Homo-oligomer: A and B are copies of this chain.
Amino acid sequence: MPRGSDATDISANSRSIDTLTESLLLASRVLVAVAARSIAESADDVTLPQYRALFVLSSRGPQTVGSLAVSLSVHPSTATRLCDRLVAKRLVLRKSTPDNRREVCVSLAARGKRLVDDVTERRREDIAAIVQRIPNEARVKVVDALRAFAAAADEVPELGLSGFTSLV
């Protein structure tokens, strides 16, 4: 089979996909571990569902209990109870809106915002500590490709990741 033929290209193509997939599978375990640790260490008294709620509020802004329930894919009453606990911990604020007095607006309290920031910062530090160990040449090469990866993920709507991206 001559070099540069279609068959060779396709084969090389799928080989590069498989190889990169395996690399990402491996890197994925590391990054999940880093993410888990950032929450466990910086948000000691907060459960994973609770952190998810804080993260949703941080990234999508204040919203009603109902839309929070949709974001988290839980029953509205579950969101109410979740907010009960977060209010008790002074991590979120519950405030009835004047324009529609049925709806209740939930927003991050100062402590909640700080907590999410701390978790993100902790994670950034952990990742930076790992990145420092990567040789310079390899480091420079990977940046664009990783951006391409994150961008490509958005282009696969059928994966239905939207329900999971607000996880950590």
A11: CB under 8 A from chain B? no
Rounded to whole Å, the gap between the CB of A144 and the closest CB of chain B is: 6
- Contact call A134/B123, Cβ cutoff below 8 A: no
The contact string, 1 if C-beta is below 8 Å from chain B, for chain A 119-149, is 0100110111111111110111111111111
A163: B residues at CB distance < 8 A = 37
- Contact call B159/A21, Cβ cutoff below 8 A: no
- How long is the Cα–Cα vector from A25 to B27 in the complex, in angstroms? 12
- Contact call B150/A23, Cβ cutoff below 8 A: yes
Rounded to whole Å, the gap between the CB of A48 and the closest CB of chain B is: 8
Assuming the A-B contacts A31-B32, A35-B28, A127-B25, are A145 and B152 also in contact, with contact meaning beta carbons closer than 8 angstroms in the complex?
no
- Contact call A24/B141, Cβ cutoff below 8 A: no
- How long is the Cα–Cα vector from A11 to B49 in the complex, in angstroms? 40
- How long is the Cα–Cα vector from A47 to B162 in the complex, in angstroms? 21
- Contact call B144/A138, Cβ cutoff below 8 A: yes
Q: Which of A21-78 contact B (CB under 8 A)?
A: 21-37, 40, 48
Out of B23, B146, B168, which one reaches A20, CB within 8 Å? B146
The contact string, 1 if C-beta is below 8 Å from chain B, for chain A 147-168, is 1111011011001110111011
